[in-house]
Amino acid sequence: MKVLVTGGAGYIGSVVAWELIRQGDEVVVLDNLYMGHREAVPAGAAFVEGDLADRALVERVMAEHRPDAVMHFASHTLVGESMAEPSLYLRDNVVNGLNLIESAVGHGVRRFILSSTANLFDDPAEMPIKSSERIVPGSPYGESKHILERILYWMDRIHGLRYAALRYFNACGAAHEDLGEEHHPETHLIPLVLQVALGQREKIVIFGDDYPTPDGTCIRDYIHVLDLAQAHILALRALDAGSRTYNLGNGKGYSVKEVIETARAVTGHPIPAEVGPRRPGDPAELVADSLAIREELGWEPRYDLRAILESAWAWHKKHPQGYGDQ
Ligand code: UFG
């Protein structure tokens, strides 16, 4: 298939694009390089630099490349930032996403995959969280993804656009030592912990140890980016049989302290840690129930926390400054 990958220069998009090419699909990356890195776009992908807000450009890309499917990663993705700048998320993520969806429908594209998020579940009745759980967005970021899921629902009913909404829990790890995670500014736990191990930061601050969890720190479900990539490809191949929505995680939660402990074991560095105040908006526990995608598509995540940290460490050690030093 020919797949248009928006945000294919970003962390998850570039890994999925790389995996698609490895499996013999054709890839066109559309990315404004606002957060993405040109060096992360896999060899063999066509690259268009541009913004989804530019509707004329999106139309041109659709007309010129005539994709069979769209995978939409391009997005603002920070929960905390969205609490400070809600309009950025509610405007850009929603309007740009709608531009893309509308253009895809107009050009006869029948398959669409949306990067969605665990931030839809701010008040889960059950842990682990099933995809049928009641949606309570935890932030304008989560709300923007919820709106896009609803837009896709209607586009399916009215225009027959088959979609998969994939709700990632905590994406992490590197595809290989030259394809990994780099954000500016970095806010995610695993890269920050590894920056301490590299000597780039003095310590890691644990955001609160008074949560109602066994060691008092927040519990998250860390899922390797290559396992996410497999889920995208399985979902893509299954789309003609109908639209679907899945939660994607390992189904096992680790506390912030457990992540730091595992990073110490993997890196051999003491990684000094200190407890600071809670970060607003952080739920105590988020763990995915991914039974639906396991049963329906045979998805099986292969990487545990240690393997995730080993792969991320290999990337960070080789590229201490990220893509900038290639
Ligand atoms: N944390 C710290 N110290 C830090 C950074 C993070 O203690 O310096 C803690 C956080 O409080 C949280 C955990 O580490 O408990 C993970 O934090 P991240 O910032 O790495 O990830 P989040 O769980 O906040 O968010 C991620 C993605 C979002 C997505 C969400 C869904 O960044 O896009 O997972 O679960 F919505």
Same domain, 68 and 99: yes
Distance 80 CA to ligand 1 centre (A): 9
- As a whole-number percent, the residues of the chain with pLDDT over 70 amount to 99
pLDDT at position 150 is 98
Same-domain status, 216 and 226: no
Choice among 131-135, 206-210, 212-216, 281-285 with the minimum mean pLDDT: 281-285
Q: Could you give the 3-state DSSP secondary structure of residue 28?
A: strand
Residues 209 and 289 grouped into a single domain: yes
Ligand 1: centre distance to CA 24 (Å): 34
Ligand 1 atom 1, closest CA: 189
* Among 281, 275, 308, 265, CA closest to 86: 281
* Residues facing 114 on adjacent strands: 72, 165
Q: Which atom of ligand 1 is nearest to the CA of 206?
A: 7
Structural domain count of the chain: 2
Determine the 3-state secondary structure of 215 from DSSP: coil
Q: Which of the four pLDDT bands, split at 50, 70 and 90, describes residue 126?
A: very high
Residue type, 241: A
Q: Judge whether residue 324 has pLDDT over 80.
A: no
Specify the DSSP element, H or E, that contains 116. strand 111-117
- Is residue 235 domain-shared with residue 95, that is, in the same domain? yes
Ligand 1 in reach of 207 Cβ (< 6 A)? yes
Query: Do the domain assignments include residue 184?
Result: no
Domain, as residue range, for 80: 2-171+222-248
Q: Taken in order 310, 141, 78, 318, is the CA torsion positive or negative?
A: positive
CATH number at residue 227: 3.40.50.720
* Structure tokens that stand for 213 in this block: 């969890």
User: Which residue owns the Cα nearest ligand 1 atom 23?
Assistant: 170
Residues 238 and 265 grouped into a single domain? no
Q: List the residue whose alpha carbon is closest to atom 6 of ligand 1.
A: 189
Q: Which atom of ligand 1 is nearest to the CA of 276?
A: 7
pLDDT tens-digit map of 30-62: 999 999 999 999 999 999 999 999 999 999 999
Select from 35, 117, 189 the residue to mutate for testing ligand 1; criterion: most ligand atoms less than 8 Å from CB: 189
Higher confidence at residue 215 or residue 279? 215
The residue behind tokens 């930061």 is 201
In a domain, residue 65? The reply is yes
Q: Which residues of 140-158 are buried (b: 16+ CB within 10 A; e: fewer)?
A: bbbbbbbbbbebbeebeee
Is 141 assigned a catalytic role?
yes
Distance CA 119, CA 96 (A): 20
Name the residue of 116, 203, 220, 289 whose CB sits within 8 Å of the most ligand 1 atoms, as the mutation to test its pocket. 220
Q: DSSP label at 95? A: I
The minimum-distance atom of ligand 1 relative to the CA of 80 is 24
CATH number at residue 285: 3.90.25.10
Spacing, Cα 187 to ligand 1 middle (Å): 7
Share of the chain above pLDDT 90, in %: 96
- Say whether both 10 and 49 belong to one domain: yes
- 165 in a structural domain: yes
- Asked, for residue 179, whether it belongs to a domain, the answer is no
CB atoms within 10 A of CB 21: 16
Tally Cβ neighbours within 10 Å of residue 173: 26
Q: Give mean pLDDT, residues 215-237.
A: 98
pLDDT of residue 280: 81
**Full-prediction pTM beyond 0.85?**
yes
Q: How many whole angstroms separate alpha carbon 315 and alpha carbon 180? A: 6
Pick from 31, 142, 159, 35: which is nearest to 103 by CA? 159
Place of tokens 């994406």: 171
Residue range 193-206, pLDDT digits in tens: 999 999 999 999 99
Please report the DSSP string for 120-149 in residue order.
Answer: GBSS-SSSSBPTTSPPB-SSHHHHHHHHHH
Which among 11, 89, 141, 254 is annotated as catalytic? 141
Contact 282 CB / ligand 1 (< 6 Å): yes
Examine the domain organization and report whether 209 and 266 are in the same domain: yes
User: What is d(CA 161, CA 208) in angstroms, rounded to the nearest whole number?
Assistant: 43
- In a shared domain, residues 35 and 150: yes
157/22 same-domain check:
yes
My answer on whether 231 and 271 are in the same domain is no
**Do 214 and 227 have their domain in common?**
no
Inside any domain, residue 233:
yes
Looking at the structure, do residues 98 and 163 belong to the same domain, yes or no? yes
Alpha helices in 275-304 (DSSP H): 291-297
pLDDT of residue 325: 54
- Cα of 188 from ligand 1 centre, angstroms: 5
Structural domain includes residue 180? no
Average pLDDT over every residue of 162-187:
96
Q: Which protein residue has the closest C-alpha to ligand 1 atom 19?
A: 188
| Token code pair at residue 28 | 């066109």
In a domain, 183, yes or no: no
Residue 177 lies in a domain: no
* Cα–ligand 1 centroid distance for 282 (angstroms): 7
Q: Is 284 in the pocket of ligand 1 (CB under 6 A)?
A: no
